[in-house]
């Protein structure tokens, strides 16, 4: 009988990790998750900060996926928090590359990364070979991807620059739904700024695709880019809630969120040509299709 393929997901307890675990299990993979708080079955204790790990399953691992990192959107970006956002990603990636020596059957690594890593130029559509920007998130992604490059010579690996993940189980979608739910649906800022997004099912399919095709290098995990106004209005429509409030001015957002306001105000368009040319096809390539699936009647 063929041995089950074993996947280890660092940060697997989060939004993407939970859905990915389900998808892997449906396909017959055995899944373990590295967590700093391993209480559930299948969760394995680790602490990338102190470089501690329960080693009992490491020798079985075939595929290693790193989704670990402190949440980007939920707290103010003080200098201390910024350090934590970077360290939690870089240290976990570096530690995983060290642990790879204890995984004799490891054959592929998937490193999460973020699409907010390009220069701020609303006139351009960015692709993977374009330079990193100079803002905080770009620097974070640059450091994070450099840490992933430690897998050079260990096994083939891919870095997926993930866009805003659309899911009905949390993440950015929850933040967008909140004001709409209170009947306060409106664009944020000018509303003309573009947001790259991906449906969570397509992201999980893309991770499987990368593993099956043994893709190497950096890929934008982006289904489409839509304006803030289009997204907010689309969500309001599917929630059957009003959308007539005046736009929330950028300065108000900057006042309350500080630098973190860039998560909603930055205007970014990104190409997905590279992953499409590699043979991947999106199930949800248009916002309407994604929202229809996320708000079933």
Ligand X SMILES: NC(=O)c1ccc[n+]([C@@H]2O[C@H](COP(=O)([O-])OP(=O)(O)OC[C@H]3O[C@@H](n4cnc5c(N)ncnc54)[C@H](OP(=O)(O)O)[C@@H]3O)[C@@H](O)[C@H]2O)c1
Please state, in angstroms and rounded to a whole number, the distance separating the CA atoms of residues 215 and 207: 10
| Residue choice 15, 61, 63, 100 for contact with ligand X (CB under 6 A) | 15
- The answer to whether residue 72 forms part of the interface with ligand X (CB under 6 A) is yes
User: 199, 206 in Cβ contact below 8 A?
Assistant: no
Please state, in angstroms and rounded to a whole number, the distance separating the CA atoms of residues 225 and 242: 23
| Residue choice 23, 57, 70, 227 for contact with ligand X (CB under 6 A) | 70
Note the maximum CA span of the chain: 63
| 185 exposure class (CB count in 10 Å sphere: 0-12, 13-18, 19+) | buried
| Residue choice 171, 185, 187, 189 for contact with ligand X (CB under 6 A) | 171
CB of 36 to ligand X, least distance (A): 4
Segment near ligand X (CB under 6 A); pick from 103-111, 162-170, 239-247, 263-271: 162-170
- The answer to whether residue 68 forms part of the interface with ligand X (CB under 6 A) is yes
- The answer to whether residue 11 forms part of the interface with ligand X (CB under 6 A) is yes
| Residue choice 23, 29, 30, 36 for contact with ligand X (CB under 6 A) | 36
CB of 212 to ligand X, least distance (A): 20
Q: Copy the structure tokens of residue 94.
A: 């570096």
| 57 exposure class (CB count in 10 Å sphere: 0-12, 13-18, 19+) | middle
Strand order in the sheet with 194-199: 164-166, 194-199, 224-227
CB of 9 to ligand X, least distance (A): 9
Segment near ligand X (CB under 6 A); pick from 8-16, 51-59, 148-156, 287-295: 8-16
- The answer to whether residue 111 forms part of the interface with ligand X (CB under 6 A) is no
**Residue 106, CB-side half-sphere exposure with 13 Å CA sphere:** 25
Could you tell me how far CA 170 lies from the centroid of its own chain?
A: 13
Could you tell me how far CA 239 lies from the centroid of its own chain?
A: 24
Closest alpha carbon to 92 in 148, 45, 39, 138: 148
Query: Is the CB of 4 or the CB of 149 nearer to ligand X?
Result: 149
| Residue choice 114, 189, 196, 234 for contact with ligand X (CB under 6 A) | 114
- The answer to whether residue 164 forms part of the interface with ligand X (CB under 6 A) is yes
Segment near ligand X (CB under 6 A); pick from 7-15, 94-102, 124-132, 272-280: 7-15
CB of 13 to ligand X, least distance (A): 4
Which residue ranges make up the site for ligand X (CB under 6 A)?
11, 13-17, 35-37, 48, 67-72, 88, 92, 112, 114, 162, 164-165, 171-172
């Amino acid at each position: 009988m063929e041995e089950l393929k074993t996947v280890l997901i660092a940060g697997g307890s989060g939004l993407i990790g939970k859905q990915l675990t389900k998808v892997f299990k449906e396909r017959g993979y055995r899944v373990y998750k590295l967590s700093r708080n391993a209480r559930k079955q299948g969760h394995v204790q680790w602490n990338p900060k102190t470089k501690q790990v329960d080693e009992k399953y490491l020798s079985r691992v075939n595929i290693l996926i790193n989704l670990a990192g402190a949440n980007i959107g939920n707290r103010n970006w003080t200098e201390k928090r910024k350090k934590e956002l970077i360290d939690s990603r870089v240290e976990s990636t570096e530690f995983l590359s060290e642990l790879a020596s204890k995984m004799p059957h490891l054959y592929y690594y998937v490193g999460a990364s973020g699409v907010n890593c390009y220069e701020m130029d609303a006139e351009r559509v960015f692709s993977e070979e374009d330079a990193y920007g100079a803002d905080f998130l770009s620097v974070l992604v640059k450091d994070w991807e450099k840490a992933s490059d430690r897998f050079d010579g260990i096994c083939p690996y891919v870095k997926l620059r993930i866009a805003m993940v659309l899911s009905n189980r949390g993440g950015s979608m929850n933040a967008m739904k909140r004001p709409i739910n209170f009947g306060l649906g409106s664009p944020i800022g000018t509303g003309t700024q573009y947001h790259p997004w991906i449906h969570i099912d397509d992201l999980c399919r893309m991770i499987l695709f990368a593993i099956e095709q043994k893709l190497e290098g950096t890929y934008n995990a982006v289904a489409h880019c839509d304006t803030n106004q289009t997204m907010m209005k689309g969500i309001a429509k599917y929630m059957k809630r009003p959308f007539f409030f005046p736009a929330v001015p950028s300065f108000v957002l900057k006042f309350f969120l500080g630098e973190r306001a860039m998560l909603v105000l930055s205007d970014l368009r990104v190409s997905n040509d590279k992953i499409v040319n590699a043979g991947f096809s999106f199930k949800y390539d248009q916002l309407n299709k994604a929202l229809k699936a996320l708000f079933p009647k």
